[in-house]
Chain A
Amino acid sequence: MNARYGMVIDLDRCTGCGSCMVACAAENNVAPLPQASPRTGITPMLVRKVSNGMEGGAQREVFIPIMCMHCEHETPCVSVCPQQAVEVDKATGIVMQMPQRCLGCRYCMTACPYHARYFNWWDPAWPAGMEKSLNPGVAVRMRGVVEKCNMCHARLHSAMAKAAAAGKREIDPADYVPACVEACPTAAIRFGNLADQNDAVSHEAHSPDAFRLLARLDTEPKVYYKSKEAWVRALAESKSGPGSEVKHG
């Protein structure tokens, strides 16, 4: 009965365009921060470019979209939060962050192995009038709190309300599609219920080409990746060696 929402991201399909990043920011009312740097910006969905470290014609690159992995087991951020502002939602498996409860200690940012949490260094501000373009259903966070990917739960809420209005108990999966999944032009990001045997995503998560980042930490992330390229799969567990992030362009 309880869902376990997760994703499988096909790295052979990700072209690193960045549509998911922009769509995520638009959906979640993240303010554009032209004064920010990659260290201080807020990108709940972040695509990183990683190369195999070789030169010339042997050079290979892959793009890896990173967001909150919604860890299921001994979730690091949940265990360190002094405010109990994060929890793993029982009904959906989504790791839910309550920014209004957060006091901004940033312990969770240290604890997150995936660096998937972002701090609001500034009050969000939009150019005059642009607040009219804010997405209803997603509260805007203030300065001093941490935020992260929340699996577009506003869309889940809309799906739940729509199902209830139609007299149904279960939501229609077509009504709950996170912004990044909707935006991806190559359908590299697939979303579904990992606990549902009939869901294609739960099958893909168990395919031999699928892997999770830092699986050895045993946090049971619900975001899987897959690739047919062996060097890409090796990146997941490499402590050092081939594979280095390429910055800029």
Chain B
Amino acid sequence: MKLTRRDLLWGVAGTAGLLVTPVPWKLLDDVSIWSQNWPWIPQPAHGPVEVKQSFCTLCPNGCGMRVRMASGWPVGVAGVASHPISRGALCPLGFGVHQLNWHPRRLRTVRHGASSSSWEAAQVAFAKACSEGPIAIIDGYPGRAASSVFETFVQKRNGSYRTVSSPETLALAPYANWSGVPVAGLGYDLENAQTIVSFGAPLLDGWATPGRFTRLWAERAAGSKDPQLRLIQVEASLSRTAARAWQWVSVHAGSEAALAAGVARVLLEEHLVPARGPMPPMTLAEAAGQTGLSTGAIVDLARTMVARPPVVAIANGDNLAIAALNVVLGAAGARGGIVRKSKHTESYASADTGIDSARAVLIDASVPWDFVPPTNAEVFRFAAWDGGSSTADWLLPAPGFLEELTDVPTAPTSAIATYAVAPSLLKASPEVQSAAQFLSGIDPALMTMEKIIHARCADLFRGRAGTLQGQEATPVAKFASVQKLEEQLWKGAVWVDEPPRSTAFRCQLKEWPTTVSSAQALSSSSVNWSNAWRAPVLPPLASKLYQESSLREAPDRRNA
């Protein structure tokens, strides 16, 4: 019999039976699961999560950091509440540092000019440079074990070791010049101050170790009309610190020195302070003119400043007038002001000078990317990320976040000496090398990080002084051996020195300074975060602050 269209139709009608098979229902379910789990959407790995403790080494403040690790990779960071200086806080960008090692601008190959090269070629070139003339090494994070490797290297070859400072440390330079105490031996005794007058220093927005002042301020001042700690912010515009300060003094931009002079004059003329000098040459009227404040306002400010002592003035950079004001206030070398933290510290020369005669300059990865050495010498620059527009002759890939063992010396502006060890939690790939390792390749006699850190721990142990601050505080004297002490340090404990018997020092200042700063006037820009963030690139999640919201203005960087 022939098959007809009717047969076809009846046959196809039979496929209505599909509805009583699992096919449509199962397919529906499977397709919905399939469409909810696209394979190209990355998902986190399974596996146990460990919490390890280390320190953020991206800037000299060394905030305590807890890192959550899964399958050997960092999956989250948080602060460490027991850290005596950072007190559990990190900077806003710090919460995204665990992603930095995969930043698209991560450096992984040696570059010589525009082309790729190798570590061997770089070593040959550097060794040759060493034999031809003096070498300068620039360090952005002095006091580390790596720093001592740099210093030893240049000492042996009559080279120069230079450092780059942040505005916070630069602000201490005048006291160093006037007292002979090195900058590294000075700090701010904020915990004992009752009045703090900040001349544009972003105390609540990326100044020194972020947690130190924000926690102090939160405990003693926030939300109170009559706080224990009075924060007076002198600034041209309403910055974040000014917005939360107890008092905001709005002055014309760049007139901080004039205000300092005007206030000092009032303090001396009205005998509001024990000091008898130095008297600033500027009159009150001149100060009023330059700052835009009335003379009455300046007088009020002076009186308010000393109403609740101890009082200290903090400059945003190297400002001699503000330092002189501190001398007048009696804050230089006194409790609640600028104090001396320990006897034995080195002084460092600034990288702004003394490198013009160098045959080659080696720049450590800790130096801010924006720093360009004032020299025509051959530049060997270490960096973990390419910040863009580099003028260095050699660009050398350095270890990134938590990829190398290093130590954490005292945070620059703290009032007390501290020490910690930051073990590497991640394995550095063989393509990267730190500057210290590189130099050891040229001079094998240089000590390794492990040896130097071990020696430093041994010194601490022998000193029998201070406390190890971990989950609990244990006096150093209680440790039975160096090994036990080191073990705790490797687990994230922080050594805190005993407060020195005397934190005082004397400033010799006969006359009011005539120049504003001993180096160059720094433009006070506390609006940007770029002062504080030292790494060449921003963590990827910074986009939340700059692009995906209106919270912050994008920083003035060449390649964020």
Q: Which residues of A contact B (CB under 8 A)?
A: 10, 12-13, 15-19, 21-23, 25-27, 29-30, 32-34, 36-38, 40-43, 46-49, 56-57, 59-63, 100, 123-124, 126-142, 182-183, 185-188, 227-228, 245-249
Contact = CB atoms under 8 A, between A and B. Distances in A.
B549 A132 contact: no
A189 B30 CA distance: 43
Contacts of A132: 45, 71, 73, 102
A133 B100 CA distance: 10
Contact of A17 (B78, B240, B553): B240
A82 to B, nearest CB: 16
A10 B223 contact: yes
Given A15-B244, A36-B543, A59-B238, A26 B96 contact: yes
Interface in B537-555: 539-545, 547-553
A142 B75 contact: no
Interface string B460-493: 0000000000000000000000000000000000
Minimum-distance CB pairs A-B, first 7? A41-B548, A249-B553, A12-B223, A131-B42, A32-B540, A185-B89, A186-B218
Interface string B186-228: 0000000000000000001110001100110110001111000
Contact of B225 (A27, A30, A136, A228): A228
B82 interface: no
A41 B74 CA distance: 25
Given A10-B222, A47-B551, A129-B102, A61 B543 contact: no
Given A41-B548, A123-B38, A245-B550, 5 more contacts: A12-B222, A16-B240, A126-B540, A134-B44, A248-B550
A132 B550 CA distance: 29
Contact of A18 (B76, B79, B544, B547): B544
Interface string B345-358: 00000000000000
A124 B218 CA distance: 37
A222 B217 CA distance: 27
B527 interface: yes
A38 B548 contact: yes
A173 B13 CA distance: 63
Nearest to B210: A185
A187 B552 CA distance: 21
Nearest to B75: A135
B91 A182 contact: no
Nearest to A22: B95
Contacts of B217: 186
A230 B308 CA distance: 27
A135 B44 contact: yes
Contacts of A29: 44
Contacts of A182: 78-79
A134 B43 contact: yes
Interface of B: 36, 38, 40-47, 49, 68, 70-71, 73-79, 89-96, 98-99, 102-104, 204-206, 210-211, 214-215, 217-218, 222-225, 238, 240-241, 243-244, 248, 250, 527, 539-545, 547-553
B221 to A, nearest CB: 9
B102 A19 contact: no
A142 B38 contact: yes
Contact of B551 (A16, A124, A127): A16
Given A16-B240, A22-B92, A136 B42 contact: no
A168 to B, nearest CB: 20
Nearest to A42: B548
Contacts of A25: 96, 541, 544
A18 B217 CA distance: 17
12 contacts: A13-B222, A16-B243, A18-B545, A22-B545, A26-B95, A43-B548, A56-B250, A135-B44, A140-B41, A140-B42, A186-B217, A246-B550
Contact of B543 (A16, A41, A245, A249): A41
Contacts of B238: 59-61
Contacts of A22: 92-93, 95-96, 539, 541-542, 544-545
B223 A228 contact: yes
Given A15-B205, A56-B250, A142-B41, A136 B70 contact: yes
Contacts of A134: 42-45, 75
B44 A140 contact: yes
